[in-house]
Amino acid sequence: MLVLVLGTGCLGGGRAASSPAAVPASCGGGAASAGVSLASAAATDPLVTFDSAWTIIRRTHWDTTYNGVNWLAVRDELRPKAAAARTRGELRLVLSDMVSRLRQSHFSIIPQEVSDATLGGGDGAARRGSSGTLGFETRLVGAAMVVASIDTGGPAWQAGVRTGWEVEAIRGCPSAARLALLPESLEPRRRALFAWQGTSMALGGQAGDTITVTFRDGRSTLHPLTLTYAEERGTITKFGNLPPVAAALDWHRVQRDGRIIGVIRFNIWMPVLAAQFDAAVDSLRGADAIVLDIRGNPGGVGGMSMGFAGHFLDSAVAIGEMVQRGGTMRFMANPRRVDTRLRPVTPFRGPLALVVDPLSGSTTEIFAGGLQGLGRATVFGTQSAGQALPSVPERLPNGDILYHAIANFIGANGKPVEGDGVTPNQLVPLDRRALLDGRDPALDAAIAWVTRQAPRRVVP
């Protein structure tokens, strides 16, 4: 059974009952917030949709105690509010309140207009255009959103932006104002996730459009820049009725102290990347060690973790167990015995390091936690999201999607991945000074470790 496991970094929702406050409409918020009523009334009786969502969770939740929540009482309390809803926005508020009562990740309501968007073809493409990118990623460092990585061929780099620069304002709205809306009670990983979500939404746009972003460099000099979105890198792909995403994978070799280290990075677990990952590993079979950079990877198709693990495990061992109401499914590694040309090979045996951060969730955590628990990989970076419940999307009568968890996942160490997530063997937090110097502390630490573990090459 292939279970879609997407982290809340992609779709919202999550473990805590609280959500970040909406960004003021003057700063690009308002209509984009899930709490804003839509102008048109729901096409379906709101009670039909409410009852459907409530019943689906009652039927499929693996825990018959519903994480200690009286599910019948939740229905009795919220059903009258659903009946009184006059717009789709009002109904979504009620539904979101309902799923938040479970205090678990992977429960959310995806609006129909989001799930129906189709990038890269069809009517959706004509309506929305091609998704664009500015060529950089942000992370919360201290109290500021900082450029954590940058595409050296992208719009931001070409405009002079560098890692370590703070994102001071987007379209004239100060980032500090957006971050100030986050509740003080948020757990640090949750805060990092919500801060990234809000910033990413504010930075979103279509290829060819322009946006004004003000950055603060390492000397506190402000740089107001007008950037033009480039075509998003990767392959636009869709799974079921979930929103489309751009899937991208790249790899390269680095040399350290006479060793060759392969570095592979991919941003999501989608089938379109499976062949690319196979090809990357094939190309690196002669490397002394491999580092997988899976920071910011929110998850994807859970079953892919078994095939990917098989590139590094020589026996069919379990990397974890998916516990459903009807039984337990073991996630067994599938050792790779042939390469992409069908030639006999053995799984890669050299040192293996993984790099994670608070935006690494779901399938990423299943994979990383499994290899770490089996002693096959050493993990670097910062603690992962702790949001790893196998889940599926289902269309509700009103057209929205109920994204809901259907199982718990127990890691190879015998502990649930949900909650604590994956704790790195070596904690390497983001450091702005290092980023300003052009260094990547977590990746550098991972490369240094595998270099020490790999035997020195014998030069004839």
pLDDT for residue 42: 40
C-alpha 127/C-alpha 180 separation (Å) is 34
285 membership: H or E segment, kind and range: none
pLDDT for residue 456: 79
The 10 Å Cβ neighbour count of residue 88 is: 24
Tens digit of pLDDT for each residue in 411-445?
999 999 999 999 999 999 999 999 999 999 999 99
288 membership: H or E segment, kind and range: none
* Mean pLDDT, rounded, for 319-334: 93
The C-alpha torsion from 350 through 353 and 354 to 357, rounded to 10°, is -170
Task: Give the pLDDT band of residue 5 (cuts 50, 70, 90).
Answer: very low
pLDDT for residue 95: 96
C-alpha 445/C-alpha 451 separation (Å) is 10
pLDDT for residue 241: 66
pLDDT for residue 115: 59
C-alpha 44/C-alpha 112 separation (Å) is 13
Topology adopted by domain 17-102? Transcription Regulator spoIIAA (3.30.750)
Task: Give the pLDDT band of residue 460 (cuts 50, 70, 90).
Answer: low
In percent, the amount of the chain with pLDDT more than 90 equals 73
Domain boundaries, the chain: 17-102, 132-231, 241-389+406-453
Least confident of 30-39, 76-85, 240-249: 30-39
CA angle 144, 147, 150 (to 5 degrees): 175
pLDDT for residue 124: 38
Q: Which tops the pLDDT comparison, 441 or 184? A: 441
In the predicted structure, residue 6 carries a pLDDT above the cut 80: no
DSSP secondary structure of 343-369: -B-----S-EEEEE-TT--THHHHHHH
**How many Å separate Cα 455 from the centre of its chain?**
35
Contacts (Cβ under 8 Å, ≥6 apart) of 36: 22, 30, 89
Answer yes or no: CATH 3.40.50.300 is held by domain 132-231.
no
What is the rounded radius of gyration, in angstroms, for the C-alpha atoms of the chain? 22
Superfamily (CATH) of domain 241-389+406-453: 2-enoyl-CoA Hydratase; Chain A, domain 1 (3.90.226.10)
Asked whether the beta carbons of 296 and 267 are under 8 A apart, the reply is yes
Q: Which tops the pLDDT comparison, 200 or 459? A: 200
The C-alpha torsion from 336 through 339 and 345 to 350, rounded to 10°, is -70
C-alpha 343/C-alpha 440 separation (Å) is 36
Asked whether the beta carbons of 440 and 421 are under 8 A apart, the reply is no
pLDDT for residue 20: 42
In the predicted structure, residue 278 carries a pLDDT above the cut 80: yes
How many CA atoms, within 13 angstroms, populate the side-chain half-sphere of residue 385?
34
In the predicted structure, residue 85 carries a pLDDT above the cut 60: yes
Contacts (Cβ under 8 Å, ≥6 apart) of 331: 302, 303, 305, 306, 318, 319, 320, 321, 322, 366, 370
Q: How far apart are the first and last CA of the chain?
A: 50
pLDDT for residue 299: 92
In the predicted structure, residue 38 carries a pLDDT above the cut 60: no
Least confident of 29-33, 111-115, 171-175, 388-392: 29-33
Tens digit of pLDDT for each residue in 41-84?
445 799 999 999 999 999 999 999 999 999 999 999 999 999 99
pLDDT for residue 156: 98
In the predicted structure, residue 34 carries a pLDDT above the cut 90: no
pLDDT for residue 91: 95
pLDDT for residue 376: 97
pTM of the model: 0.84
In the predicted structure, residue 2 carries a pLDDT above the cut 60: no
Query: If you ran DSSP here, which 8-state letter would residue 66 be given?
Result: G
C-alpha 96/C-alpha 102 separation (Å) is 11
- Cross-strand bridge partners of residue 136: 150
In percent, the amount of the chain with pLDDT more than 70 equals 86
Task: Give the pLDDT band of residue 131 (cuts 50, 70, 90).
Answer: confident
